[in-house]
Every structure is written in C-alpha cells, then in structure tokens.
Structure 1
Amino acid sequence: MNHPINSFVKERIGYLELNRPEKRNALNAEMVEALKDGIRNFSEDKEVKVMVIKAAGKVFCSGADLAYLQSLQSNTYEENLADSRSLKDLFYMIYTSPKVIIAQIQGHAIAGGCGLANVCDFSFSVSEAKFGYTEVKIGFIPAIVKVFLIRKIGEGKAKQMLLDGDLISASEAKDMGLINWIVEGGELEDRVFAYAQKLIRQNSGQSMALTKEMIARVQERNLDDGLEYAASMNAKARGTADCQKGIAAFLNKESIEW
C-alpha cells in the first residue's frame, strides 16, 4: 500500500504530496496524520524555509473520504469528536506554521480539499480546477473549514460558497480571493518553485514567521489591543538577529544572504 503522503526536500522547499490518487486524494485518518507529521517535521527542519502542498493524480483533494465518514457513523460522539479534532489540528498547524505554505493545485479542490488549499498562505491553480464546499448537498456541514474561509474572504462571500454548495471555476475563485494565481498546467510546478525560491532568497524567514503570526493573532483583538500588540511585536522584531543583520547590510549597501 502506498504511503498517503510523499515528502521530499528540494532546494530548501519541503514538498508534501497527497498520494491517494485512486481515491481522488480524499482525506482519511491516515492521510491527515501523515500531513501533520510532515508539516511538523518541516517546521522544525532548519534546511526547509518554505513548504508546498501538492497532489498526485488529476484531483488535488476531493475532501473527506465518504466511505471513511460512513464507517464513523457508528462511533460515539466522543470518538467522532476526537476524529474531528484531528482534522482541526491539521488546519490549525498549516495556518499557524512559522513557515510559509503554498498550495500547488493541479486539479479540483472540493469540500475539505478546498479548505486544505485555502488555509495555505498562497495558492497557484490551473485554470480547469473547480472549487467548492459541497457539504450541505450531502447532509454534512463545512464546520472546520468555515472558520478559516470567513477570515479569508469575509462573511458574505463565505455564505455564498458554504450555503450554496455549488462548484466555481478557478477564475471565480480568484475573483473571490480564494486563490492567488492561475497558471497553465504545464507551468504550474515551475511557477510554484520560482515563487518559493523568491521568498527564500529575498525574505528573512524570521520576519515572515512573525508577520504570519501577527496576521493570525491581530484579528481576534479590538483596535486598542491590536495596536498595542503590534507595537510590542515591532519592538520585539528590532532585537532579532535577522533585523540587525538586514539593516546593517542595507546601510552598508551589501547584499543579504537569507
């Protein structure tokens, strides 16, 4: 049996490839755990500066494995809660990872698969990919993905996607702010690689980590608390090694090696 995730490193990029193409890369317990392990390992690996989540086959991710979900229907509430929390932990890990995570979307991203793509920091998609949260059509709910979707595109657009349940095109997804870039299929791998390398070469990893953390945390605060938090983080950043290195290099007109 194939491992549900292929992981490898290429020039400081940690790749996590969904590897259940025969199941349209549907999420089950094994794949969720493997993804969490991969993200955890790359987050701690000093040689990895950016991560990419991609997929084997024609579909990026079709969401929860329905056969797996059906098998859980005889579980107790507590057992189902534990399983649900595992998926919640995966999305939280992606959203709060100190390293930038890019979604490389080569095919349809549906339901939980759409959530997986959208919780990443950046996303590149082929034009033929479809996106959508179809849970309401089968009597299920888009519970965990909803928390991140509302943050990303706002309540109004999120309602359209979550309550309507229809699939939308990559072009519509880009207009909604769901994805960042649409590229030709033959260029997808190279475009993602080039963008990741740009981030690796030109930006401080420490600075990207702090900025990503602030984006996640500032939204839960009121204006006064948010500004005070920003001021404290500003002061904290001034004392970091990367800030001292970067400013010194800029003033000395030296190139910075990140």
Structure 2
Amino acid sequence: MENLLTPELEALRYIRYEADERIGYITLHRPDKRNALNSEVVSELKQAFEHAENDDSCRIIVLRAAGDVFCAGADLAYIQELQGYGYTDNLLDSTHLMQLFHQIYTLKKVVIGQVQGHALAGGCGLAAICDITFAVPEAKFGYTEVKIGFLPAIVSVFLLRKIGEARTKQLLLSGDVVSAQTALDLGLITFLAPADTLAADVRAYAQRLARENSAQSMEVTKEMLASLPEMALEEGLRYATRRNAEARGSDDCRRGIAAFLNKEKISW
C-alpha cells in the first residue's frame, strides 16, 4: 500500500484512507453504528476526498464501507442533537453536508461507490452522488426522510440531474426502500456485483479506467457533465465546442492520437 498520510488523516476516527496501484480507497469505518453520518463523519469525509484529489499516487477514488451496512443515514444521537438547534445552526449543519456532496460531484477524479450493504437516506445520497456505483444484489436503497417528517432536500438537486423528475418523485415522495435491482433500473446505481466478487470487480474497473483513460480527459469530461445542465442549448454547445478545441491542443490528446496513428498501445 502506498499509504503516505498527513497527520490530519492519520488522526481520523471514522474514515480510513489508503492508496494502492493508483486507486485511492476512502472507507467509512464506523460499523458499530452502521456507518451512520454525523458532523464529524462528514468533516472527515471532506478531508479524505480533498487528500485523494491531490494525491499523485491516486488516479481513481473508491468510496466503500466497513461492516454489513454501507451507510444508514444520519446517526440517531445526531438527530436527537439537532432537535435543539435553531435555524442558524441548522443552516450551518446543512451547508456542511451540501459541501460534501458538491465536493464529490465536482471532484477532479472519478469516484466509484462500492456498496456492500444497505444505503439509506444520507447513505443513499452518498451512493448516488458517486460517478459510478457498484452494489451487491442484497443491498437496499431508499430516501426515507418523509417518513419522519424530514426532507431529502440536498440530494434532490443531484437526483433530478441523474435520474430525472419522474423517478426522483417516485423515490423521494414515497420514501420507499427498494431493491438493488430496482435501483439499477431507476439509474440510481450503475452495476450489480455478487458480494464475493464486489471488491475485485470494483478494483478491476478502477484499474481499467486508470490504465486505459487519460486522467485529464476524465477530469474535463466530469467538469463538462456537471456544468452543461445549467446551460441553455446554444450556450452549452458553445461551451462544449470550446472544450473540444482546447482538448485538441492538450498533451494527452497529442499522445493519444500519435499512439493511435502508429498503432501503439498507450498506457496512461
């Protein structure tokens, strides 16, 4: 393992980070609490993703979890604590979670979710916000906030982009917990993988991206896909045309085209 951590990362309580063969692994490590989220967990995730984004030994990031549950959403003690918050404190806390979701969505590197168990409420948000998500068939997914008088507010912004209005309404208004197959059919996740091969399947996919694809091209593609939904048709086309022209002059494009024309295999 290429595990050169900052003192800040080494001091994390609930998150583990390690890099191996150009894959950075961020692990939710609170299995006794079903990897539930609280302010500290969110803070540690933000630190880990920032480190991974700037880690030269990491080309692809995998978000995974210890134990039987991927993430059960907000911690019960944390929910009870929020009952004493006023609007200002609640706004600060909500902003904290929003920043994490936005950070993952706009991260320069591809983020792959490795979901080995149930992902509910905020945990389902984490699974869905990843660029690519693998899950075991036994996993359950759902946004259950409406069942306790809460709102799946922050994740709704990203779900509307990812799966569209009709499917977002189906999930968020019902609060239903659905199977992994249904989550796949809805477009919430990307692949199903058996539990005994999940880690290997994710690793193989991540290594293929790291080996076969230009990191610069993947970064710019992620940036484009995050930006385009906000633009009108003509503005989006002009933006895409500019990025196309810029890419043609990049070192990676020159290398890739030269290798293609010379019938040479290129390894990024």
TM-score (norm 2): 0.94
Amino acid at match of 1:40: E
2:248 corresponds to 1:210? no
Which residue pairs with 1:25 in the alignment? 35
Whole-angstrom distance in 1 between the partners of 2:80 and 2:91:
15
- Over the matched positions of the two proteins, sequence identity in percent amounts to 57
DSSP 3-state at the match of 2:16: strand
1:86 equivalent in alignment to 2:92:
no
| 2:253 match | 243
Does the alignment pair 1:175 with 2:185? yes
Give the Cα–Cα distance (whole angstroms) in 1 for the partners of residues 177 and 12 of structure 2.
30
Structure 1 residue 146: Cα displacement: 0.8
Asked whether the equivalents of residues 49 and 205 of structure 1 are also in contact (C-alpha less than 8 Å), the reply is yes
When residues 76 and 204 of structure 1 are mapped into structure 2, their CA distance, relative to the original with a 3 A threshold, is same
CA–CA separation in structure 2 for the residues paired with 1:239 and 1:97: 23
Q: Does 1:160 align with 2:151?
A: no
> What's the offset of the Cα at 1:66?
2.8
| Helix, strand or coil at the partner of 2:69 | coil
RMSD: 1.1
Matched, 1:35 2:39: no
Task: Work out the CA distance in 1 between the residues paired with 2:165 and 2:237.
Answer: 24
**Does the CA-based 8 Å contact 2:42-2:97 persist in structure 1?**
yes
1:193-204 mapped onto 2 (5 Å cutoff): 193-204=203-214
* Preserved contact between residue 12 and residue 44 of structure 2 (Cα < 8 Å): no
1:62 corresponds, among 23, 47, 72, to 72
Q: Letter of the 1:17 partner, please give it.
A: T
1:184 maps to: 194
Report how many aligned residue pairs link the two structures: 258
Q: How far apart, CA to CA, are the structure 2 residues paired with 1:5 and 1:87?
A: 16
- CA apart distance, 1:73: 2.0
Q: Aligned with 1:9: secondary structure?
A: strand
Unaligned runs of 5+ in 1: none
Looking at structure 1, the residues matched to 139 and 267 of structure 2 have their Cα atoms a distance apart, in angstroms, of: 37
- Partners of 2:232 and 2:111 in 1: CA distance: 28
Distance 1:2 1:154 in 2: 36
Contact residue 2 and residue 19 of structure 1 kept, 8 A: no
Equivalence for 2:55: 45
2:97 aligned with 1:97, yes or no? no
Whole-Å Cα distance in 2 between the matches of residues 238 and 45 of structure 1?
26
**Alpha-carbon distance in 1 for matches of 2:80, 2:121:** 16
Are the equivalent residues in 2 in contact too, given 1:109–1:130 (CA < 8 A)?
yes
- Aligned residue type for 1:182: L
Q: TM-score, normalised by structure 1?
A: 0.98
Is residue 146 from structure 1 mapped to residue 182 from structure 2 by the alignment?
A: no
Deviations 1:188-221 (A, max 9, x none): 0000000001101100000000001100101110
Structure 2's unaligned 5+ residue stretches are 1-10
2:22 corresponds, among 4, 12, 15, to 12
Q: Distance in 2 between matches of 1:14 and 1:114?
A: 21
Matched letter for residue 191 of structure 2:
W
